[in-house]
Structure 1
């Protein structure tokens, strides 16, 4: 496995989980990695200089404490500026294969109006982001893929496989669909038996298309469990992940051309905000 890993920290306990996960992956991949801290540039120069020195010393000590035996020692990098912008610029400059970050501090009001740091990184960047939530184990044991049978979902599945994140895991694929015809027929007063029959046909067609879609992904030769239901996509992904005690959820962010700068796919956004396990969010291919 090759590719640079960028670990972004805000010095919180949540970021320590990201550091542990990033160091573990760097060891597994034999990959170079960088530990990045961004200093807010809207502070006096003296405070910025003091913070650069103290943070650098703290992070070097943290690395010494947490570095697994045999893992490459990461470079410590302190940058000044806007957080999500600095993270994306650094990832681009270093050609990072993955950004690892800790879970966000939940603030409902700020999340609604500004989005979380991870969301803003995904809004404006093209590098996959791994949100580390759980204590690090050697491998992920139970992985849930949230899919929509589109190129973004295929790219997310293939990215997780290519990174080796799911090689030792039990896999579950979750797909949510909406049977609009059933809703329309119900409102039109069509016989319930006929509605049920047509709904069953739609279910079978959906399953057939889903298996066809998955046959063109990197899990085609793997054993996996398929869960698909007429439900809200984020809710069913989170429910299945909770029921299985999954330690990783993989989703595509489904960027929307010009809107990508201001919004994240609602499914990925909900999963990132509510998941109790690690989440790999993969932006679409540009």
Structure 2
């Protein structure tokens, strides 16, 4: 279970959902909460002290608006946001980092190199990007899986942290029906193509069932859904249709047509979705 959560705020409106989500999580789990703000830039000493006092006052006022029973610490420090967030996460032994999203339509194109992307890639622990406008408990959770070790680890980590409790959990797997495509191009009769496509689908379904059963998920209740198509667009299309509250993804995976997460797919999903996204690195 969660013992410590770190949420980073830049004091802007886009950080408010992150703070609200972090509060909701620690209230549900009893974890401790650290609220961090990083003052960046080369400021004069007096100006720097003023910025720190202002940020501390703002965050204290924001947290006071919640009925928190968990231990809460406010930290305002100077430095580069990416480095400070990672260092603070290590210092407070955070089980998870919560960050607010940059709400820009072109985020998908500029995601690489942002603070969120760099923290996700290097912090060595799960990063929750809070996109949802409300901090209601997640009623529906999707776990994107390509049946790789990385995606399996992401599912196990989300379960171990208690983030799947009391939610309708669905494993989502995308696949490309290669046999049907090849047979269609070869001019094979439609009936035969359909038979082979069904056989391929049933094989994928059995593989997915064995993969999920092999995970250490205890008595977790879950569903599984196979969609046609691979990559971020296929997952994003289903998310738009089904509207889960949370998507869990692994940040790395294996290569090949059945292996979705090569880094860029996870980045595309984090940069384009309007729901909460939990990215879990292999080393978490």
After TM superposition, the score normalised by the length of structure 2 is: 0.87
- Of 215-224 and 201-210, more deviation after overlay is shown by 215-224
The Cα shift of 1:131 comes to 1.5
- The match for 1:64 is 64
Q: What is the DSSP-based 3-state SS (H/G/I as helix, E as strand, rest coil) of the residue aligned with 2:274?
A: coil
Aligned CA-pair RMSD:
2.5
Q: Note the residue ranges of structure 1 that are not aligned, 5 or more in a row.
A: 257-262
Equivalent of 2:85 in 84, 87, 91: 87
Distance, in Å, in 2 between the alignment partners of 1:90 and 1:75 is 12
Match of 1:230 in 2: 228
| Aligned residues of 1:123 and 1:264 also touching (Cα < 8 A) | no
Q: 1:150 aligns with which of 145, 148, 151?
A: 148
Higher deviation after alignment, 43-52 or 156-165: 43-52
Asked if structure 1 preserves the Cα contact closer than 8 Å seen for 2:2 and 2:31, the reply is yes
**Superposition deviation, residue 220 in structure 1:** 6.5
Contact 2:107 2:271 in 1 (8 A): no
Q: Distance in 2 between matches of 1:255 and 1:206?
A: 18
The C-alpha deviation readout for 1:175-203, integer Å capped at 9, x for no partner, is: 11123343334334444443333222221
Q: Which whole-Å deviations, capped at 9, do the CAs of 1:23-81 have from their partners, x for residues lacking one?
A: 2222222222211111114444443332112111111111112x224233x21112222
| Larger deviation, residues 227-236 vs 246-255 | 227-236
- Cα separation, partners in 2 of 1:109 and 1:24, compared to 1, 3 Å: closer
Whole-angstrom distance in 2 between the partners of 1:48 and 1:269? 34
State how 1:107-186 maps to structure 2 within 5 Å. Answer: 108=106, 111-112=109-110, 114-134=112-132, 135-137=134-136, 139-186=137-184
State the secondary structure of the residue aligned to 1:207: helix
Structure 2 gaps, min length 5: 255-260
Worse-superposed segment, 207-216 or 102-111: 102-111
Task: Write out aligned runs for 1:34-73 (5 A).
Answer: 34-65=34-65, 67-72=66-71
Give how far 1:249 is off: 0.9
Q: Which residue of 1 aligns with 2:214?
A: 216
Q: Deviations over 1:198-238 (max 9, x none)?
A: 22222111111100000022446444332212213322322
Task: Give TM-score, length-normalised by structure 1.
Answer: 0.87
